[in-house]
Amino acid sequence: MDQQTGSTHLWSDECEAALCGQIQLELYASYVYMTMANFFDRNDVAFHHIAEYFKNESKEERKHAEMMMEYHNKRGGTTLFSEIRAPQPLNMTNCSILKAMQAALELEETVYKNLLKLHDIADKDPEFQDFIEAHFLHEQVDAIHKLKGYITNLKRVGEGVGEFLFNQHFENE
Distance from C-alpha of 27 to C-alpha of 33, rounded to nearest angstrom: 10
Task: Collapse the DSSP code of 45 into the 3-class scheme (helix H, G, I; strand E, B; otherwise coil) and give the result.
Answer: coil
Annotation: CATH topology of 13-168: Ferritin (1.20.1260)
Tens of pLDDT, residue by residue over 4-14, are 444 455 678 89
Residue type, 150: Y
How high is the mean pLDDT of the chain? 90
Q: What pLDDT was estimated at residue 93? A: 72
pLDDT confidence band for 1 (50 / 70 / 90): very low
Domain parsing of the chain, residue ranges:
13-168
Q: Which has more pLDDT, 18 or 3?
A: 18
| Predicted TM-score (pTM) of this structure | 0.89
Longest Cα–Cα distance in the chain? 65
Distance from C-alpha of 131 to C-alpha of 44, rounded to nearest angstrom: 43
| Contact between 9 and 76 (Cβ < 8 Å) | yes
Angle between the N-to-C axes of helices 48-74 and 161-168, in degrees from 0 to 180, rounded to the nearest 10: 60
